[in-house]
Structures are given as C-alpha cells and as structure tokens.
Structure 1
Amino acid sequence: MADTPTPTPSLEDLQHWTWVLGKAQQMMLEHGFDMTKLPAAGPFGTMLDPTAAMRASAGFWADTMQLWQRFLDPAHAAPFEETPEQAKDKRFKAPQWREEPVFDFLRQSYFVIADNLLKGVDSLDGVDPKQKEQIRFATKGFIDAVSPTNFPATNPQVLEKIVETKGESLLKGLQNMLADIAKGQMTQTAEGAFELGRNLAMTPGKVVKRTPLYELIQYSPVTKQVYATPLIIFPPWINRFYILDLTPEKSFIGWAVAQGLTVFVVSWKSADASMKDVVWDDYVERGQIDAIDTVRELLGVEGVHAIGYCVAGTTLAATLAVLAARGAPEKVKSATFFTAQVDFSESGDLQIFVDDDQLAMIKSLSGEGFLDGRYMAMTFNLLRGRDLIWNYVTNNYLMGQDYVPFDLLHWNSDVTNLPSAWHLSYLTDLYRDNKLAVANSMSIGGTPIDLGKVTTPSYVQAGREDHIAPAASVWKITHHFKGPLKFVLAGSGHIAGVVNHPGAGKYQYWVNDEKVETLAEFMEGAKETKGSWWPDWVAWIDSIDASKVDAKGAIVPGKGSLKALEDAPGSYVRTR
C-alpha cells in the first residue's frame, strides 16, 4: 500500500466536509451560549451551571480557532496535543492521518468536536446521575458513529482500497453488509472456520444427564489419580459454555482435567417457547442445586467444588445462601466466582439499559416467551461499539476485507435465547432494585436469601478492565460473605481476564492477604504476579481438600449409575 498514493478528496468533497465540520462547530458554540440564557431553576431544579457552560463554550471556541490556524497557517500555529487516549486510538493508526494535511485536519476536527461534546455533558448540573450517564453513553455512541473512519470519502485507507481494486472492494463490502442484514446479526469472524467438536469444545467427555433446562457433561480423567472432591462449573446461560473450552491452547476445562480434577459442566438450553415460565428460582433449584446433588450422588461425595461465571456466579451466591438457610451448606465445599456480582449498586454501563422504557421494550420483544439472543449480543456489542461494531463496518463493509478466523469472536456471535420472565425479573430485581444485596428481600422456593449466612470458602476473581462486571462491583461480594474468602484481580477484562491459559504467558494478577475494606486499599498492598491466575486457583483448591482417589468407576464418564447419552459437547450447545 505504501506505493499507492492516497487519493485526495475532490474539491467538492472537501468543501462539503469543511462545511459539515464548520456547521457542527457553529451549532455547538451557539448551543453552549443559548444554554447559558436558560433560567437558573425550573420545575426540575437547576439544569445547567451557566459558569460551567460558559467555560465549556470558551474552551471549544479556543480549540476551534487553534484547529483552523493549524490548517490555514501551520507554520505559525501551536502543534496539536493529543491526549494519551487519542494517541493510541487504533482507528487513526495509519500514517496518512498525520502525514497528509486534509486527513490530519479531519482527525483533529473529530477529536476537538468529540472532546467538547463530552465536556458539554459533564457541564450538565442538577440532572439525575443515571440520566447523565445515559446521556454520556449515548453521546459516546454518537461520537463513535460519526468518526471520519466510518465514511468512504474521509478514510484514506478506504480510498486507497477503492483505487487499488478498481471499486471491487466496495462491491465486496456491500455483499458483506447485505448478508448481515439478511441474517439480522453482524458478522465478526470467518464463517465455517470453527466447528464444535472439531476445533472447538474438544475436551473428551460425555453427556450423562439431560433435563429440560440443562445437559450435564462429565469429562474423562487423564491422570491416574484425581482429587476426591469433584468440580462442577456453571457457565452463564447468556452465552455458550465452551468459552471455557475453546481451542486446547485456551481451554480452562481441559487444563483443570489435566490438574487432576473430575470436571462436570452444565450446558444450558437456549430458551424457546417451552421455557416461557422459567424464572430465577428454576436456575437455582432445577439447575444448580439439582446438578450439585446429581454429582454428589453419582460419585458418593458429601460436597463439590463449584464455579459460577458472571450471571451464573450471581446465581451460585443465591444457591449458597439457600443451602445455608436449609442447613445443607456442606453440599458445596468451595465456591469460585468468575467476574460475578451480588451487589449491583456500581454495576457499570449495563445499568444504562435498565429503566422503565428499556424494560418495556424488552417485554415487547419477548412475545413468544423468550428473548432473541441477538438483542443481548447487540447490547454487549454497544458497550464496546468502537471495537465490536464500527471496526467491522470499516474493515468488512467499507474496505471489503475478508473476515479473520477468531475462536473468541465465533463464540461471541454464537448467541443464546433467554427466558423472558427470568430476564425481566433479573434486570428489575437485581440491576434496578438491587434486592440480592438486602437480606431476605428475595427468596427461592420460599427460602429467604441472606448472603450474610454464606460461610463457604470462596475464591473471587475480577477483571481489572471488565466493562460488564466492573472490578469495584465484584469486590462488593467481600462485604457480604462471612466465610474465608480470597479475592484475586486479574489483568484484562470479562473474557480475556478469565480465559488466560498459563501457557500463553499473558497478563498478570494481584493478590493481597491483608484484610482491607476497599478495592483501592487492596491494590495499595497487592502483590503482582505475571501470567495466569489459574495455578494460584488450583493451589487454593488443593488447600481446601488435597485428598486423591484412583480415577476409576463412576469417575469415568458413563461407568457409574449415569450412562453416557452422547459425546461432549452435547446437543444443547448446538441449538439456537
């Protein structure tokens, strides 16, 4: 590409975009000054601090004047000073955005307008904090959408590709876009590159139980002896379980089996009309408790190690509280939580999607008793729209590039449907009303839930950059449980922070053995260790119960009282 000169927009295009940017700047300035004329108070109190608005307008005026001076008289203008975030913005990494005056002007204009739009939101005063966050989120989404990288006439790489391919790239991109419109979902990775059982979810095992809610998979031992206490994993039913069994180089399940654990995994059924009456009680009683009792009976053990990931971790916390209230806490010998929340007072950007209007819309989309998984997929994509939406618009629609095979994105696109009754109550009772954090405000099967009664030894993992379950929110579990608890903060986010095989040598994690009250205090005294936290976790499991037994009898899938129904990964994971 270096030998291909970047086509310069025509004079007409340049005039048009200059007018657009100038008009946008004028509208923002006029709006800022108009807002200062609003009465200081109204029926809803003070809506805008005039001083803050005037400061924002003055700052935007100064930024705009400097921008135009740099474009018209660069020799005598102060250089554009990027913020650290702007400097590492991958959308503008191509050298043309800095080396060619027209595109450099577009880039700087975009950053100036984006920065001042967010400052305008910050200057709002007297607005409900949640409403302000909604405005800020919508503003950030708008800013991402209007980036010059998203339009053919203002993206130098798109223009180069059009010239290089004589327009074929535009036709290929249109084909990609029309295909996505037809299936109602954005493509993020090469289709057909991955297949369950062939190059994903390959850990050998058997389905040993099937209910209307879940399949129970038992994995084959690979060591002569195994830990006497088995492990059962509850993945979130919002996604497919094989996030924990991707390629062998990434598989947590395969790695856990290799450590000598007898591993069971629950594979949830993607909701259909038959599940219209399924509620949270069912995922606790007919899901987690039923699966725990099944494993206990099959192997003849008193208790199990249990893992709950995300929403299944929230449910595991409720399960522990229910078992404690019923006098049976010994059924779970230890509990591990992957990026799970129990107190939703600081649950991050997902709170933005929980208000009366959003809940009414979700209800309207669930006419057959279940919510189409594509809705939730789009919601999660919106949380990282720059990476999970506009990146593909630019690369695959505008430039007509082929999709890259990527196992994680294949899983991300493999959506599941949700029971609508459960989904609405979950958003209402937990995200909106935060009932789980208040003792006895919720009940399961008539048993009140009090997290303060949980004394089960717990290992709590959070992701430092998690945008779905923020670390500060996950930390709150330490304020509720009363048993021994170890908190571990992992590098990266909701997925990569969990799925981090030791062989990859990536990221890091922090631990702090001192008793502290806040996440900030935890970090002040935390010890950092490079690489995966998985070995730390299995050492913790060993400290709970190090006893071993021979890997024979019911420990081998299908050799006990539960006969093998089919090979892993089973049938439920394949249905949409």
Structure 2
Amino acid sequence: MADQHPPKINLPDPAELAETMSAISEKSQELIKNFMARQQPLNPQEHDPDPLRIGQAFLEMSQKFWSDPDKAMKLQSDLWQGYTNLWQQTANNFLAAGKTESDENKKSPAPKPKGDRRFQDEAWENNPFFNFIKQSYLLTSETIHKSVTSVDGLDKQDALKVDFYTRQFLDAVSPSNFLMTNPEILRVTTESGGKNLLQGLENLISDLEKGRVKMTDEDAFTLGENVATTPGSVIYQNELMQLIQYSPTTEQVHERPLLILPPWINKFYILDLKAKNSFVKWAVEQGFTVFMVSWINPDARLAEKSFEDYMLLGPLAALDAIEQATGAKEVNAIGYCLGGTLLASTLAYMAEKKDKRIKSGTFFVTMTDFSEAGELRVFIDEDQMVSLEKRMADKGYLDGAEMGTTFNMLRANDLIWSFVVNNYLLGKTPFPFDLLYWNSDTTRMPKSMHSFYLRKMYLENKLAQPGGIVLDGVPIDLGKITVPSFIISAKEDHIAPWKSTYANTKHFSGKKEFVLSASGHIAGIINPPDAGKYSYWTNRDTPADPDEWLDKATEAPGSWWPHWAEWEKKNSGKLVDAKKPGSGKLKIIEPAPGSYVRIR
C-alpha cells in the first residue's frame, strides 16, 4: 500500500490560542450567569412538568413496543446486520485511503435522506473516520425511528407526538451539530485559533437577548426600500387592518379589482418581497387593480378580537372601501393559507346573506377540511390546547416567537440546526436573505381568535361541517359557495398538505379548478415566471380521490402564475381606464407598505 501522509494542518499560534480560549471561558461564564439570573423558581403546585403530555405518549409507545418481542428482536437484528456491514465498509475505507474506489464499495449502509444538507463537506464522504460517524448516526437514527413508528395500537395523536419528537431528538444529536464530530468546524477552529467559537458565543449572547435564532442579516432589509417595494398607498384602515391600493402600471385595467387576503400568522409582504419575485408587482403588470389587506400585529388590547371580527373588519370592510375608492361593486379575491380559510368562510357567509360582490375565489395552499391537517396537528390536542389557552390568557395573545418556533420545528435541520452550526460553531454572520427576513418578522395571535381557530377548525373540524360554526349569527356552509374557485396547492407542503387542500373540491360548489405546484408552502406559491423553476400539474376534472386526479394530471414546466392569470381574466370583466390611489372617494393615508406592517 502506498505511504499515507496526513494533510498539512496550519496550527494556530499557542499564545494566541490561549488568549482566545480565555476569552471563550470568560464569555461562557457570563452566559451562564445571565441564564441563571433569568430563571424563576417553580411552584410545583402550579407547574406542570409535561403540559404537552409528550412523556405520556412515549410511555405508551414503550409499553406497546415491548409487548411485541418478535418485532423488537427483528429491529435489533437488522441494526446489528447494518453495523456489521458498516464496520466492513469502514475497514475497507481505511485500507483503501488514497486509492480510487468503485461506486459499489462507496455504497452507504444507510444513505442520507433526500434533501439532507447536513453532510455536504467532502470529509463526510472521503475521510474514513468522519464517514463512519455519519453512517453510524444515519443507521442508528433510521432504526430508532422505525422502532417508534412501527408500534401497533398506539393512539393516533400519541403516534404523531412520538414520531415528531423522535425526529426532533435525532436531528438535535446529529454529529454535524457538534464541534468534535463535524470536520468543517474542526478545520475552521484549527485555522482560526478558536476565534470562530469566540464569535459564536458573541452571536449566541446576542440571539438570547433577542429571544430568537438570527437567520439572516436583519440590518440588510428595510420595508419599503428593498422589500415590500411595489408602489401603492394605504387608502383605508381600521383597528385590525390597513388596505393598500397598488399604483397601476398599465393604462387600462380589468374592470373587477383583485383583493388579496394574506394570512395574519405572518405578514403580507411574502407576496411582495423583491421586485423579481413579487406576486403583487407581477399581478399589477397583468392589468389587475390590486388591493392588499395588511393585518395589524395585535397586542393585549385586541385580545378579544374573534375570527368573526377578522371577517367583518377584514374582507367585508375591504369590499366597502374598494367601492368607495374605485366605484367597483364587484371584485375577485385571493386568500393565502389562513387568509384562504377566512375567504372561504366569508364566501359562505355572503352566500347566506345573498351578497354577490365577490365573483371568484383563488385559494393559495388553503385548508378548510382539517381531518388530515399535516404535521401541525402534532401541536393540537385537548391537553395542549388547555396549556396554550392558559399562556394566552396571561398575555392576551400568543407570542409571535412561539408561533415562529413551532413552524421552524417542522423543518428543524434547515431552520434551526443549520443556523446553530453557522452562527454559534462556525461563528459566521447569516447571509442576507429576504425570505428569512420575512420569516423572522413574526406576528402575534389574539387570544379569542386563535383559540376559536384551533379548537373549531383544527381540533373539531367544524368548518367542514355544514353549520358547524356560526359567524355573525350566520351558520357557515361551504357548500353554499357557488362562485368559480381556483385552488392552488403545493406538492411538498408540510403545513397544508396538498391532499388536505384538495378536499376543497368536494366542499365548494360551482366551477372548480385544482392546480398542483411543485415545492412547498412558500416556494410553491412564490414562483415567478422569469425564475424558470419548478413545475405544476393541471387536470380540469376533480375526482373524489386526489391520487386519481394526479394520475391523470398533465405536468407543465415553470410557474403556474400565467395559467392562473388566464383563468382570472375570464372573471374580471372588460378593460377600463386605470385609476390611481386617492383618485376616488378615499384619500391616501400613507404610502405603502403602511405602518401596521412595521409593528414588530
């Protein structure tokens, strides 16, 4: 075998390294001291150590797992066989270090999951030691996950908790998250003399003071300057929302304006980030007069605002304002996620009231049937609702940071641990990214509204039942929605699974078109034509089975936006002269994006 020479390592100056380690020790002591000072003594009579009943779910799983010893032995046998193969492969890797290996010899006993970006450094593949660490982790993780998800007879909600929190644990203990088992961190630490760890502690202290992990360079963005930049004006406001009318860029526009209802879980400018990916800007260029609801970021003063209030002071108030601003008595409407749930509820309410001002509805990744609500369902059961309602009762709202953490946990490797490694272990400053800036700009949820939404829709699935909920004295029946509906979902959506959103086709009456976009909850929607990314599927029929719909659907390359625009223009009336904001009965209050969106 050829002589093996280790790669040259540039060792740091000992005196400089000692100084850095001393600074790290000092910062660590400061960190611990501040942490301890913030802790409050717990009252055992008031404190529930397991309010989410996660421990109970794992106890139930454990009891049922060991009640089937044959299955347990099979899993242990498979794990042992996997390790035997791994040890053999690792021995071959050490013997063949520096030689060219065949693809067969490089085959992993436990391949990394699709889309896993934790092990991109070449050393994870080429260095036998780190390759063994990676493969050992993946093999063990796979076995642990199989052991907890293959248990029979477990309550459905307990099974969801066990599955979800097991994945959270396995993600947390990944070798990529630790100094001594991550080759990139070791290399950077050696080359910088530990300065990356010192800077990482500085970053950690800063993030602890803010109460969140910093995902992007927040100083790089300013609302109205390099995000949320489409020209327009606030022409109406009430205690829950501001209404933005965007300035036309075409001499003529379609007769019916377009009203957009974004979710109030996040802020509206996901639809107006930068000019190149702004749905708002693009829609204006297609000749639509676009109005956007910008929800307020509520505090304790709005604790008792209900889902009903969001309907009355949101879309219904916006319809009156649009008529005053443009003279148009009819509009088309778009609802995104929770905004789409509100739009569906409003359309059913208006149908009962014989109000025909909304002539079509477009639903972006919208659920109205929560029987299969996706991974968010793990956070919603009676025990967790009681705990959540107690927390909201103290403040009058659900804190935005808590909501943000919930969503980040759904993609923990990408939205939590990657930043732990980048910010705290590599000591880097996050890269400026408009989407992550928006993601960090969290909003609060009023106590009454949020409790109603989670209980009546997620927990009890009442919206899908005719008359299951009542808004402003009107029983809501989605079957009364007879306007044309365009339903766009995303194939890899983990928040609103596409098969759940497909249920809208059976609940809504009238003409329906269902379109499926590639990618997820955000990228599947924010996919401008010029980007040339992803694809989408269409099928004019809407059979009862979503899999049957997809089997017969036709895939088209690129963005679904032009396909939607063709559909919407058929519902938008003739072309008329464009009107600028403030030219009607409502005068300009302030320039877009307004002041409500700036409340952090």
Q: State the SS of the aligned residue for 1:539.
A: helix
Select which of 68, 82, 102 maps to 2:87: 68
SS in 1 for 2:559: coil
Correspondence for 1:562: 586
2:455 to 423, 428, 446: 428
Counterpart CA distance in 1 for 2:8 and 2:532 is: 39
Q: How does 1:37-436 map to 2 (within 5 A)?
A: 48-72=67-91, 80-82=107-109, 85-86=112-113, 89-328=116-355, 330-366=356-392, 367-436=394-463
Report the counterpart of residue 443 of structure 1 in structure 2: 470
Give the Cα–Cα distance (whole angstroms) in 1 for the partners of residues 540 and 67 of structure 2. 46
Distance in structure 1 (CA, Å) of the matches to 2:598 and 2:135: 47
Work out the CA distance in 1 between the residues paired with 2:573 and 2:68.
62
Q: 1:428: Cα distance to partner?
A: 1.0
Does the residue aligned with 1:498 lie in a helix, a strand or coil?
Answer: coil
Q: How many residues align?
A: 537
Choose the corresponding residue for 1:482, options 503, 509, 524.
509
Cα deviation 1:302-338 (Å, max 9, x = unaligned): 311100000010111000000001111x210111000
Alpha-carbon offset, residue 347 of structure 1: 1.1
Measure how far apart 1:59 and its partner are: 1.0
Superposed displacement of residue 124, structure 1: 1.0
Q: CA 1:4–1:482 in 2, change beyond 3 Å: closer, same or farther? A: farther
Cα distance per residue 1:28-76 (max 9 Å; x no partner): xxxxxxxxxxxxx99x989743332221121112223333344456569
Instruction: Rate the CA distance shift 1:79–1:223 in 2: closer, same or farther, 3 A.
Output: closer
Partners in 2 of 1:87 and 1:262 — Cα distance?
Answer: 42
Query: Structure 1 526/133 Cα, relative in aligned 2: closer, same or farther at 3 Å?
Result: same
1:349, 1:468 within 8 Å by CA — same for their partners in 2?
Answer: yes
Q: CA RMSD in A?
A: 2.1
Cα separation, partners in 2 of 1:104 and 1:499, compared to 1, 3 Å = same
Equivalent AA in structure 1 for residue 368 of structure 2: V
Question: Counterpart in 2 of 1:575?
Answer: 599
Per-residue CA deviation, residues 523-547 of structure 1 (Å, 9 max, x unaligned), is: 1111111111111111001112341
Distance 1:84 1:64 in 2: 13
Please report how far the alpha carbon of residue 6 of structure 1 lies from its aligned counterpart in structure 2 after TM superposition: 9.7
Contact 2:261–2:335 at 8 Å: present in 1 too?
yes
Which runs of 5 or more structure 2 residues have no equivalent in the other structure?
A: 1-5, 12-59, 97-103
Is residue 538–residue 554 contact of structure 2 (8 Å, CA) maintained in 1? yes
Distance 1:261 1:171, change over 3 A: same
Query: What is residue 39 of structure 2 aligned with on the other side?
Result: none
Answer yes or no: is the 8 Å Cα contact 2:64–2:151 preserved in 1. Answer: no
Looking at structure 2, the residues matched to 418 and 319 of structure 1 have their Cα atoms a distance apart, in angstroms, of 20
Match for residue 530 of structure 2 among 503, 508, 518: 503
CA offsets per residue over residues 219-262 of structure 1, 9 Å max, x none? 11111100000001000001010100111001111111111110
**In structure 2, how many angstroms separate the alpha carbons of the residues matched to 1:3 and 1:301?**
73
Amino acid at match of 2:71: A
Tell me the SS of whatever aligns to 1:61: helix
1:130 to partner: Cα distance: 2.0
Question: SS of 1:271's equivalent?
Answer: coil
Q: Distance in 2 between matches of 1:370 and 1:88?
A: 36
- Residues 261 and 334 of structure 2 are in contact (CA less than 8 Å); yes or no, is this contact kept in structure 1? yes
Structure 1 range deviating more: 44-53 or 238-247: 44-53
Q: Deviations over 1:167-217 (max 9, x none)?
A: 111111111111111110110001210101111111111101110000011
Q: Secondary structure at the match of 1:569?
A: coil
Q: Secondary structure at the match of 1:217?
A: strand
CA separation in 2, counterparts of 1:560 and 1:379? 43
Q: Write the letter of the residue equivalent to 2:424.
A: Y
Would you say the 8 A contact 1:334–1:544 is kept in 2?
yes
Distance 1:514 1:87 in 2: 32
Structure 1 pair 48–304 and aligned structure 2 pair: CA distance change class (3 A): farther
Q: CA deviation at 1:82?
A: 5.0
Contact 2:332 2:572 in 1 (8 A): no
Q: Secondary structure of the residue that 1:266 maps to in structure 2?
A: strand
| Aligned AA (2:577) | D
* Offset, 1:451: 0.5
The CA deviation at 1:419 is 0.3
**Aligned counterparts of 2:338 and 2:484: Cα–Cα separation in 1:** 20
TM-score, normalised to structure 2, is 0.86
Q: Which residue of 1 aligns with 2:31?
A: none
Contact 1:53 1:123 in 2 (8 A): no
Q: Any idea what SS the aligned residue of 2:158 has?
A: helix
More deviation, 359-368/149-158: 359-368
2-structure distance, mates of 1:372, 1:542: 40
Question: Which range moved further: 92-101 or 485-494?
Answer: 92-101
- Sort the Cα spacing of 1:224 and 1:3 in 2 relative to 1 into closer, same or farther, 3 A: farther
Q: Tell me, yes or no, if structure 1 residue 462 matches structure 2 residue 481.
A: no
Distance 1:72 1:84, change over 3 A: closer
- Do the aligned partners of residues 3 and 266 (structure 1) sit closer, same or farther apart at CA in structure 2, a change above 3 Å counting? farther
Cα deviation, residue 155, structure 1: 0.5
Provide closer, same or farther for how the CA distance between residues 4 and 189 of structure 1 changes in structure 2, counting only shifts above 3 A.
farther
CA distance in 1 between partners of 2:114 and 2:252 (Å): 53
- Once residues 449 and 191 of structure 2 are traced to their aligned partners in structure 1, the CA distance between those partners, rounded to angstroms, is 52
- CA separation of 1:4/1:374 partners in 2, compared to 1, >3 Å: closer, same or farther? farther
Give 1:25's aligned residue: none
User: What's the offset of the Cα at 1:401?
Assistant: 1.3
Work out whether residues 337 and 461 of structure 1, in 8 Å CA contact, stay in contact via their aligned partners in 2.
Answer: yes
Question: How far does residue 502 in structure 1 lie from its aligned partner after superposition?
Answer: 0.9
In the alignment, what sits opposite 1:38? none
Counterpart of 2:181 in structure 1: which amino acid?
Answer: T
Secondary structure at 1:544's aligned position in 2? coil
Q: TM-score, normalised by structure 1?
A: 0.90
| Unpaired segments ≥5 residues, structure 1 | 8-40
CA drift of 1:288 comes to 1.5
Measure the CA separation in 1 of the matches of 2:412 and 2:544. Answer: 34
